[in-house]
């Protein structure tokens, strides 16, 4: 009923056409289930594998190997830097429904200016993982709670060139993942604790913006948001209410 009312209001101001229930839009497939909606990009991933020329590759279980050295030093220059950058751009779009490859994508994108065969191997590893998890997607379900929870972590001094750390966070509203990111920190952290605090600060920045947005939309939460650090320690925001 609310959707129909909104469409009527929009139609009174704009020229629009109701195309019915969402099924496929810009490479994203919407699958309706009894408990909610799943957004996936299986067809987009299949086309990307064919474009990369590795549609017959062997799938792998992880998006990135633990032995890969994140550094621009060494390695044979990539045979086709343009292809590398094009595939990286396509992979960035996949993170819209696949937050589990955000960190590995962040690492691979840092070498687009001068990719080597080692970096190309890392990109192919991501593609092989996407083939293994091609049916995965982002599930959205009706949740009785609007409470916000944020999980943060940091990869201390993970960059082999400048020794900067990488922040990562995932924000849930009730049972639904609504925001996530993996990005390099701007300053060098001398200790792992410092990088964890910086990751918390990045998560708090996003959380503050979300609460401001919800306020403009007329939404409210019953409890103060909770920050989880490294999935073990948690920091209730208490009376601060951000």
pLDDT in tens, the chain (242 residues): 678 888 888 888 888 888 888 888 888 999 998 888 999 999 999 999 999 999 999 999 999 887 776 677 667 777 688 999 999 999 999 999 999 999 999 888 888 888 888 888 999 999 999 999 999 999 999 888 888 899 999 988 877 777 889 999 999 998 899 999 999 998 899 888 899 989 999 999 999 899 888 888 888 777 888 888 876 655 555 444 44
Are 47 and 133 contained in the same domain? yes
Q: Give the DSSP H or E segment for 48.
A: helix 42-52
Are 40 and 70 contained in the same domain? yes
pTM score, whole prediction = 0.83
Residue 122 included in any domain:
yes
What total number of domains does the chain contain?
Answer: 2
Pick the last residue of a domain from 137, 155, 178.
137
Residue 226 included in any domain:
yes
The tokens of 70 are what? Answer: 């994140």
Domain hosting 80: range is 36-137
Contact in structure between 152 and 226 (CB atoms under 8 Å): no
Residue 26 included in any domain:
no
pLDDT at 61 (0 to 100) = 93
pLDDT at 242 (0 to 100) = 41
Q: Locate tokens 């955000």: which residue? A: 102
Nearest C-alpha neighbor of 45 from the set 107, 103, 87: 87
Contact in structure between 92 and 109 (CB atoms under 8 Å): yes
CA 93 to chain CA centroid, nearest Å:
9
């Amino acid at each position: 009923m609310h959707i129909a009312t909104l469409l009527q209001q929009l139609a009174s101001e704009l020229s629009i056409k109701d195309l019915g229930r969402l099924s496929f839009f810009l490479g994203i497939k919407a699958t309706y289930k009894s408990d909610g909606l799943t957004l996936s990009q299986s067809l987009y991933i299949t086309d990307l594998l064919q474009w990369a020329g590795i549609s017959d590759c062997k799938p792998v279980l992880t998006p990135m190997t633990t032995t890969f050295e994140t550094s621009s030093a060494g390695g044979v220059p990539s045979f086709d830097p343009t292809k590398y950058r094009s595939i990286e751009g396509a992979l960035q779009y996949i993170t819209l429904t696949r937050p589990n490859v955000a960190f590995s994508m962040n690492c691979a994108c840092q070498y687009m200016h001068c990719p080597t065969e080692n970096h190309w191997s890392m990109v192919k590893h991501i593609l092989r993982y996407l083939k293994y998890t091609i049916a995965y997607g982002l599930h959205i379900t009706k949740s009785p709670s609007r409470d916000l929870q944020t999980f943060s972590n940091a990869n201390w001094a993970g960059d082999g060139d400048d020794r900067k750390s990488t922040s990562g966070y995932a924000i849930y509203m009730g049972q639904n993942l609504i925001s996530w990111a993996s990005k390099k920190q701007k300053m060098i952290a001398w200790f792992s604790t410092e990088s964890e605090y910086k990751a918390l600060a990045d998560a708090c920045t996003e959380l503050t913006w979300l609460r401001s947005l919800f306020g403009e939309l007329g939404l409210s939460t019953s409890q103060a948001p909770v920050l989880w650090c490294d999935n073990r320690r948690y920091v209730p925001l208490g009376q601060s209410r951000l």
